[in-house]
A and B are shown apart, each in its own frame.
Chain A
Amino acid sequence: DAGVTQSPTHLIKTRGQQVTLRCSPKSGHDTVSWYQQALGQGPQFIFQYYEEEERQRGNFPDRFSGHQFPNYSSELNVNALLLGDSALYLCASSLAGRGEGTEAFFGQGTRLTVV
Protein backbone atom coordinates (compact mmCIF):
# COMPACT_ATOMS: atom_id res chain seq x y z
CA ASP A 1 0.00 0.00 0.00
CA ALA A 2 1.77 3.11 -1.25
CA GLY A 3 1.77 6.05 1.09
CA VAL A 4 1.76 9.69 0.03
CA THR A 5 4.37 10.39 -2.61
CA GLN A 6 5.68 13.78 -3.64
CA SER A 7 7.92 14.88 -6.47
CA PRO A 8 10.47 16.20 -6.85
CA THR A 9 12.21 15.82 -3.48
CA HIS A 10 14.46 18.82 -4.01
CA LEU A 11 14.24 21.77 -6.35
CA ILE A 12 16.21 24.95 -6.94
CA LYS A 13 14.56 27.82 -8.78
CA THR A 14 15.42 31.41 -9.58
CA ARG A 15 13.43 34.34 -8.23
CA GLY A 16 10.57 35.19 -10.59
CA GLN A 17 10.26 31.68 -12.01
CA GLN A 18 7.29 29.38 -11.68
CA VAL A 19 7.28 25.94 -10.06
CA THR A 20 4.93 22.93 -10.02
CA LEU A 21 5.02 20.37 -7.23
CA ARG A 22 3.20 17.06 -7.42
CA CYS A 23 1.51 14.77 -4.92
CA SER A 24 -0.10 11.35 -5.09
CA PRO A 25 -2.30 10.60 -2.09
CA LYS A 26 -2.37 7.44 -0.06
CA SER A 27 -4.43 4.72 -1.65
CA GLY A 28 -8.11 5.17 -0.79
CA HIS A 29 -7.76 8.83 0.19
CA ASP A 30 -9.66 11.51 -1.69
CA THR A 31 -8.54 14.75 -0.05
CA VAL A 32 -5.21 16.49 -0.48
CA SER A 33 -3.89 19.37 1.58
CA TRP A 34 -0.76 21.40 0.96
CA TYR A 35 1.44 23.00 3.59
CA GLN A 36 4.47 25.26 3.60
CA GLN A 37 7.00 24.69 6.36
CA ALA A 38 9.76 27.22 6.85
CA LEU A 39 12.82 26.23 8.85
CA GLY A 40 12.03 26.06 12.55
CA GLN A 41 8.29 26.63 12.04
CA GLY A 42 5.25 24.41 12.03
CA PRO A 43 3.54 23.62 8.72
CA GLN A 44 1.35 26.47 7.43
CA PHE A 45 -1.88 25.48 5.67
CA ILE A 46 -1.97 26.60 2.03
CA PHE A 47 -5.16 24.95 0.72
CA GLN A 48 -7.10 21.74 0.52
CA TYR A 49 -8.58 19.97 -2.51
CA TYR A 50 -11.53 17.62 -2.60
CA GLU A 51 -13.51 16.47 -5.63
CA GLU A 52 -11.18 18.49 -7.84
CA GLU A 53 -12.10 21.75 -6.13
CA GLU A 54 -10.34 23.99 -3.65
CA ARG A 55 -12.32 23.55 -0.46
CA GLN A 56 -10.39 25.64 2.03
CA ARG A 57 -7.56 28.14 1.73
CA GLY A 58 -5.08 29.57 4.19
CA ASN A 59 -3.49 33.01 4.14
CA PHE A 60 -1.45 32.63 1.00
CA PRO A 61 -1.45 34.97 -2.02
CA ASP A 62 -2.94 34.10 -5.38
CA ARG A 63 0.53 33.23 -6.62
CA PHE A 64 -0.15 29.90 -4.96
CA SER A 65 -2.62 27.82 -6.92
CA GLY A 66 -3.43 24.19 -7.19
CA HIS A 67 -5.28 21.48 -8.97
CA GLN A 68 -6.67 18.07 -8.18
CA PHE A 69 -7.10 15.43 -10.85
CA PRO A 70 -9.81 12.76 -11.14
CA ASN A 71 -7.40 10.17 -9.71
CA TYR A 72 -7.09 12.43 -6.60
CA SER A 73 -3.49 13.40 -7.27
CA SER A 74 -2.70 17.07 -6.92
CA GLU A 75 -0.38 19.80 -8.04
CA LEU A 76 0.77 22.95 -6.30
CA ASN A 77 1.83 25.82 -8.53
CA VAL A 78 3.70 28.87 -7.36
CA ASN A 79 4.21 31.79 -9.74
CA ALA A 80 6.64 34.68 -9.54
CA LEU A 81 8.78 32.97 -6.94
CA LEU A 82 10.20 35.04 -4.11
CA LEU A 83 13.17 34.26 -1.93
CA GLY A 84 10.73 33.87 0.97
CA ASP A 85 9.03 30.98 -0.81
CA SER A 86 12.01 28.79 0.05
CA ALA A 87 10.63 26.10 2.33
CA LEU A 88 9.64 22.48 2.67
CA TYR A 89 6.31 21.91 0.91
CA LEU A 90 4.31 19.09 2.40
CA CYS A 91 1.37 17.28 0.93
CA ALA A 92 -1.06 15.46 3.21
CA SER A 93 -3.86 13.12 2.21
CA SER A 94 -6.94 12.13 4.14
CA LEU A 95 -10.40 10.69 3.68
CA ALA A 96 -13.17 13.27 3.60
CA GLY A 97 -16.37 13.18 5.55
CA ARG A 98 -15.14 11.44 8.65
CA GLY A 99 -15.83 12.90 12.04
CA GLU A 100 -13.60 12.90 15.07
CA GLY A 101 -10.14 11.58 14.32
CA THR A 102 -9.69 12.38 10.63
CA GLU A 103 -6.02 11.55 10.32
CA ALA A 104 -3.80 13.05 7.65
CA PHE A 105 -0.80 11.22 6.22
CA PHE A 106 2.13 13.23 4.93
CA GLY A 107 4.50 12.80 2.05
CA GLN A 108 8.21 13.30 2.55
CA GLY A 109 7.96 16.81 1.17
CA THR A 110 9.59 18.84 -1.57
CA ARG A 111 12.36 21.13 -0.44
CA LEU A 112 12.23 24.25 -2.61
CA THR A 113 15.11 26.69 -2.65
CA VAL A 114 14.67 30.02 -4.43
CA VAL A 115 17.88 31.82 -5.30
Chain B
Amino acid sequence: RKEVEQDPGPFNVPEGATVAFNCTYSNSASQSFFWYRQDCRKEPKLLMSVYSSGNEDGRFTAQLNRASQYISLLIRDSKLSDSATYLCVVSNTGGFKTIFGAGTRLFVKA
Protein backbone atom coordinates (compact mmCIF):
# COMPACT_ATOMS: atom_id res chain seq x y z
CA ARG B 1 0.00 0.00 0.00
CA LYS B 2 1.32 3.45 -0.90
CA GLU B 3 2.00 5.83 1.98
CA VAL B 4 -0.21 8.51 0.43
CA GLU B 5 -2.95 7.67 -2.05
CA GLN B 6 -5.10 10.05 -4.04
CA ASP B 7 -8.03 9.80 -6.42
CA PRO B 8 -6.49 8.81 -9.76
CA GLY B 9 -8.34 11.42 -11.83
CA PRO B 10 -8.35 13.18 -14.15
CA PHE B 11 -11.33 15.27 -13.18
CA ASN B 12 -13.02 17.11 -16.03
CA VAL B 13 -15.49 19.71 -14.77
CA PRO B 14 -17.26 22.77 -16.21
CA GLU B 15 -16.61 26.25 -14.89
CA GLY B 16 -18.57 26.94 -11.76
CA ALA B 17 -18.68 23.31 -10.64
CA THR B 18 -17.73 22.07 -7.20
CA VAL B 19 -15.09 19.37 -7.14
CA ALA B 20 -13.72 17.30 -4.26
CA PHE B 21 -10.41 15.50 -4.00
CA ASN B 22 -9.72 12.76 -1.50
CA CYS B 23 -6.49 11.48 -0.04
CA THR B 24 -5.64 8.73 2.43
CA TYR B 25 -2.38 8.18 4.30
CA SER B 26 -1.03 5.06 5.96
CA ASN B 27 1.23 6.39 8.73
CA SER B 28 -0.87 7.17 11.77
CA ALA B 29 2.06 9.13 13.25
CA SER B 30 1.85 11.73 10.49
CA GLN B 31 1.61 15.24 11.86
CA SER B 32 1.48 17.76 9.04
CA PHE B 33 -0.75 17.79 6.00
CA PHE B 34 -0.85 19.99 2.94
CA TRP B 35 -2.33 20.42 -0.48
CA TYR B 36 0.08 21.59 -3.15
CA ARG B 37 -0.76 22.69 -6.66
CA GLN B 38 1.49 21.92 -9.60
CA ASP B 39 1.07 23.46 -13.02
CA CYS B 40 2.39 21.68 -16.09
CA ARG B 41 6.20 21.52 -16.08
CA LYS B 42 6.41 23.80 -13.03
CA GLU B 43 7.39 23.20 -9.43
CA PRO B 44 4.75 22.40 -6.78
CA LYS B 45 3.47 25.36 -4.79
CA LEU B 46 1.66 25.32 -1.50
CA LEU B 47 -2.09 25.74 -1.88
CA MET B 48 -3.00 25.34 1.76
CA SER B 49 -2.06 23.59 4.95
CA VAL B 50 -4.61 21.24 6.47
CA TYR B 51 -5.22 21.62 10.17
CA SER B 52 -7.07 19.32 12.52
CA SER B 53 -9.94 21.78 12.79
CA GLY B 54 -10.20 22.10 9.01
CA ASN B 55 -9.59 25.34 7.20
CA GLU B 56 -11.00 27.44 4.42
CA ASP B 57 -9.36 29.90 2.04
CA GLY B 58 -11.82 31.56 -0.30
CA ARG B 59 -13.19 28.90 -2.64
CA PHE B 60 -10.97 26.19 -1.15
CA THR B 61 -11.80 24.10 1.91
CA ALA B 62 -9.50 21.45 3.37
CA GLN B 63 -10.47 18.90 5.98
CA LEU B 64 -8.59 16.30 7.98
CA ASN B 65 -9.97 13.17 9.61
CA ARG B 66 -7.21 11.67 11.74
CA ALA B 67 -9.28 8.69 12.83
CA SER B 68 -9.85 7.63 9.22
CA GLN B 69 -6.45 8.96 8.05
CA TYR B 70 -8.20 10.92 5.36
CA ILE B 71 -7.71 14.39 3.89
CA SER B 72 -9.97 16.22 1.49
CA LEU B 73 -9.91 19.34 -0.65
CA LEU B 74 -13.08 20.99 -1.89
CA ILE B 75 -13.01 23.58 -4.65
CA ARG B 76 -16.16 25.60 -5.14
CA ASP B 77 -17.08 27.68 -8.20
CA SER B 78 -14.25 26.23 -10.29
CA LYS B 79 -12.33 28.61 -12.55
CA LEU B 80 -10.40 27.85 -15.71
CA SER B 81 -7.28 28.87 -13.80
CA ASP B 82 -7.85 26.04 -11.30
CA SER B 83 -6.75 23.54 -13.97
CA ALA B 84 -3.65 21.91 -12.52
CA THR B 85 -2.47 18.83 -10.65
CA TYR B 86 -3.29 18.78 -6.95
CA LEU B 87 -0.86 16.97 -4.70
CA CYS B 88 -1.70 15.64 -1.26
CA VAL B 89 1.31 15.91 1.04
CA VAL B 90 1.96 14.30 4.42
CA SER B 91 4.87 14.89 6.80
CA ASN B 92 5.87 13.37 10.08
CA THR B 93 6.78 15.49 13.07
CA GLY B 94 9.10 18.38 12.30
CA GLY B 95 8.73 17.99 8.57
CA PHE B 96 10.98 14.96 8.27
CA LYS B 97 10.35 12.78 5.26
CA THR B 98 7.56 14.58 3.46
CA ILE B 99 5.61 12.19 1.23
CA PHE B 100 3.63 13.24 -1.81
CA GLY B 101 0.68 11.53 -3.38
CA ALA B 102 0.79 10.88 -7.12
CA GLY B 103 -1.48 13.86 -7.72
CA THR B 104 -4.91 14.35 -9.22
CA ARG B 105 -5.21 16.21 -12.47
CA LEU B 106 -8.06 18.73 -12.76
CA PHE B 107 -9.30 20.14 -16.03
CA VAL B 108 -11.83 22.97 -15.81
CA LYS B 109 -13.55 23.70 -19.10
CA ALA B 110 -15.52 26.71 -20.27
Asked if B95 and A31 sit within 8 Å, CB to CB, the answer is yes
Q: Within 8 Å CB of A94, what residues of B?
A: 95
Distance of B54 from chain A, by nearest CB (Å) = 13
Distance of A68 from chain B, by nearest CB (Å) = 14
Distance of B63 from chain A, by nearest CB (Å) = 15
- Is A74's CB within 8 Å of the partner chain B? no
Interface string of A49-84 (1 = CB under 8 A from B): 000000110100000000000000000000000000
Interface string of B22-46 (1 = CB under 8 A from A): 0000000001101000000011111
Asked if A42 and B95 sit within 8 Å, CB to CB, the answer is no
Q: Complex Cα distance A45/B87, Å? A: 14
Q: Complex Cα distance A35/B101, Å? A: 12
- Is A109's CB within 8 Å of the partner chain B? yes
Query: Which chain B residue has the least Cβ–Cβ distance from A4?
Result: B43
Given contacts A42-B87, A90-B44, A99-B31, contact A104 B100 (CB under 8 A): no
Q: Complex Cα distance A97/B92, Å? A: 11
Q: Complex Cα distance A34/B72, Å? A: 26
B82-110 interface (Cβ within 8 A of A): 87, 91, 93-103
Asked if A90 and B43 sit within 8 Å, CB to CB, the answer is yes
Asked if B97 and A100 sit within 8 Å, CB to CB, the answer is no
Known contacts A56-B96, A90-B43, A98-B94, then 7 further A-B pairs from the complex at CB < 8 Å, ordered by chain A residue = A41-B103, A42-B6, A45-B99, A96-B95, A101-B51, A102-B94, A102-B95
> Using a CB–CB distance below 8 Å, which chain A residues touch chain B?
31, 33, 35, 41-45, 48, 55-56, 58, 90, 92, 94-109
> Using a CB–CB distance below 8 Å, which chain B residues touch chain A?
6, 31-32, 34, 42-46, 49, 51-52, 87, 91, 93-103
